[in-house]
Homo-oligomer: A and B are copies of this chain.
Amino acid sequence: MRIAVDGMGGDNAPAEIVKGCVQAAALIKDDIYLVGKSGLLEKELKKYKFNREQIHIVHAPDVIENEDAPVRAVRTKKESSMVVGLNMVKSGEADLFISAGNTGALMAGSLFILGRIQGIDRPAIAATYPILGKGVSLLVDSGANAECKPNNLLEFATMGSIYMEKVLGIKNPKVGLVNIGAEESKGTTVLKAAYELLSKSNLNFRGNLEARNVPKGNADVIVCDGFTGNVILKLTEGLAWNILKLIKGKFTAGFIPKMGAALLAGKLKELKNEFDYSEYGGAPILGVKGAVVKMHGSSMANGVKNTILKGIPFAENNVVQIIQNSVLELEEIVISE
């Protein structure tokens, strides 16, 4: 397997990206192609010992910045690490492309360069959502499509279920539709229609999912439009960060609490790890003709390493092909409405 990694994307590129690639390479047999400014990447690589036959540099002189307008950037920066990496997947030179760069550009580039899977109306970004003490669920869409039609939500549910089964190994994953009440009659017109479509599908649809049950892991695949998905993901991040900060503040105020915190050091570390998104790899872009994974913009080496490790089954298990095959069935459901 050949894994292309955007060496220039994200807040900590190229240093942490390169470090993560070296860490991953030590654990796998696959080839890694670091795409970006060769001088910078070479300089970082020199800091480590690694197998020169396993990590390769692919020179790309340009960089798409976070501030760049996505579509324009993809159209004009043909020599950027992101566009070069996506073209490697397109041409078959790579089986997987991973980037921590501009999310909009990665989505736009995946659409323009790889193209949509025929029959998928709206590709989505599927984020792994940490279920405390229990692993992860998959949140689709996590931000690519602010407004959705009922058939888009059915597509998200289908693609998410395939990913959970084939990549994260969850058999017959439970699907939940985020809504403001458990009853079928709840929510907007779009959600009511989506509920009907999901009920007719052969997915393991468990009905509406109230937001309070999202963190409990009641659904393996959390289905919602990209606006709601973004709110869920970002609110969880913000709240977890705030709570940990509050705990830290409280537990270091005074001598006795400090002693208590010292005795709990191991447990506090465990607690922090529960919120660590980087353990679960990145967010796959589902619905395009190729395996592309978005990493968090602030990814450190450990996150890069895990994204590479989790990315391998995504490419290896033909998720893209399986989605392609299941699309016809979706059309039957939508048309029969």
Contact = CB atoms under 8 A, between A and B. Distances in A.
A133 to B, nearest CB: 6
B228 A212 contact: no
A235 B263 contact: no
Chain A interface size, as a band, is 35 or more
Contacts of A227: 180, 187-188, 228
Interface string A211-254: 11111100000000011101111111111111101110111010
A196 interface: no
Nearest to A239: B215
Q: Which of A147, A250, A261 has the most CB of B within 10 A?
A: A250
Contact of A238 (B215, B249, B274): B215
A128 to B, nearest CB: 16
A153 to B, nearest CB: 14
A122 to B, nearest CB: 15
A143 B264 CA distance: 39
Contacts of A250: 267, 270-271
A210 to B, nearest CB: 6
Contacts of A146: 180, 187-188
A132 interface: yes
A27 interface: no
A256 to B, nearest CB: 5
Instruction: Please give me the 6 A-B residue pairs with the lowest Cβ-Cβ distance, nearest first.
Output: A260-B263, A212-B238, A260-B264, A211-B234, A212-B234, A211-B235
B257 A230 contact: no
A328 interface: no
Contacts of A260: 259-264, 267
A210 B238 CA distance: 10
Given A215-B238, A235-B212, A247 B226 contact: no
Residue among A242, A257, A266 with max Cβ neighbours from chain B (10 Å): A242
A178 interface: yes
Contacts of A235: 211-212, 214-215, 232, 235-236
A264 B260 CA distance: 6
Nearest to A235: B211
Given A132-B243, A246-B132, A238 B263 contact: no
A183 to B, nearest CB: 11
A180 B246 CA distance: 25
Interface in A173-216: 178, 180, 187-188, 210-216
A238 B267 contact: no
B263 A237 contact: no
Contacts of A236: 235, 239
Contacts of A262: 260
B215 A242 contact: yes
Contacts of A237: 212
Kindly name the residue among A178, A213, A231 whose own CB sees the greatest number of chain B CB atoms within 10 A.
Answer: A231
A257 B216 CA distance: 24
